[in-house]
Each structure stands twice: as C-alpha cells, then as structure tokens.
Amino acid sequence: MKIYNLGEHNSLFNVFVSEIRDKITQKDSMRFRHNLRRMGEIFAYEISKHFEYENIKIETPLGVKEMGLPTKQPIVCSVLRAGVLLHEGILSYYDKAESAFISAYRKHDAAGRFHIELGYVACPSLEDKTLILCDPMLATGASLEVCYRSLIKYGKPRHTHFVSAIASVQGVEYLQKKLKGENFTLWIGGMDEELSIESYIVPGLGDAGDLAYGNKLQE
C-alpha cells in the first residue's frame, strides 16, 4: 500500500486542514463544509497524476496540439454522510466520473463495544475501473474495510484510492494488515498518533458529520 500524506509538506492545503481542526473555526459549519470540498479538489488533482494517459490531437483555431489526456474516468464513492463533501470536491474535477454511495455507522452494544453496520448501497459496475472511496476520518479502519469489501461485490476495481482528511496510525496499520495484497493507495491530509477509549482520533477534529450537517440523535 502506498501512502500519500499531503499534510507532510508545506502548502496551502494545510490551511484547510488547520481550519477543519480548529475548534473556533469549526463553529462556522459552512466554512467546514467548504474546506472539506476544497481538500477533495486537491486530492482529485494529486490522484489524477496516477491515471493512465494517452496522447490526443487537439485542433485549435490555428493548428493542432498533441496532449496527454486520461483514458478513463474513475468511480467516486462516498461513505455517508460526511464523505459527501470530499466526494463533491473530487467530482468537481472529474467531469465524466460515475458515482457510488454507501452508508456505514458504528452500532454500539450495552458494553460500549461496536461493530460496523452497513445500510444503503448504490454502485455501478466496478470491474477493472479505478475506485476512489472517500471517508473523512480513518480512525480504526474498520469502516473503510467493511465498505470496500461490500463494494467489490459490484466488480473488482483495477485500483482503489482511499481518501481521508485525517487518519490515525492505528487505522492505517489496520488497513495495511486487513487489505494486504489488495491494489490500493491511501491519501490523507494528516496523521495522528492516538485513539480515544471510544476510538475517536486524538487530536483529530471531532465528528466530521456532525460538524458539517448538525448533531445526530444517538441510539
């Protein structure tokens, strides 16, 4: 598994990461959503460097110019609900991409343990295509693994790009272990060392879905 941490390098990208983390700036939910979309756009640009390209002749009013253009568009999938914002940002750069959606959430038991419950899935054929799977927070890694294994029922992608705004070391190690041998790349905006007792990333940023769309009722 290749890992690209865009936050490791000084760039404008880190302004957006800092603002989605900052507890004061987070109070502006519109800005939080906007920053996740902008991060999605930057991820899309970076991921595009790894597509397959072919030279195409473009006719201009004054002549012909040969340019390298992508041979295929990816399928962009978001884990509902917070993944939609990264999805929107990525999709704004891939004009002809198809979309997929999958819902996943933590189902807690009386002892406080949880497992991942899947719900709604809408997906085109993934066979031999490039899949971009978006989930803002890669905490334990369990959600992305379960979602990926559910999606490949719709065909085996040629390559999968996982995209998360913030990841934990534990979550990254989990994916490396559980998806060993799979053809995928992980793109993140930052990596943190800890998980809380409740398996939330520390320092992280909190609940991305709640920050974007408002607090949800707990079961």
Residue-wise pLDDT for 130-183, tens only, equals: 999 999 999 999 889 999 999 999 999 999 999 999 999 999 999 999 999 889
- For residue 87, what is the enclosing H or E element? helix 83-91
Give the tens place of pLDDT for each residue, 6-16: 999 999 999 99
Residue extents of the structural domains in the chain: 2-49+75-213
- Give the distance from CA 104 to its chain's centroid: 14
Fold of the 2-49+75-213 domain: Rossmann fold (3.40.50)
How far from each other are the two terminal CA atoms of the chain, in whole angstroms?
A: 36
Q: What is the pTM of this model?
A: 0.92
Burial 30-68 (b: 16+ CB within 10 A, else e): eebbbbbbbbbbbbbeebeeebeeeeeeeeeeeeeeeee
What mean pLDDT is predicted for residues 81-97? 95
CA atoms within 13 A on the CB side of 31: 14
Confidence class for position 117, pLDDT limits 50, 70, 90: confident
The neighbour count for residue 219, using CB atoms within 10 Å, is 7
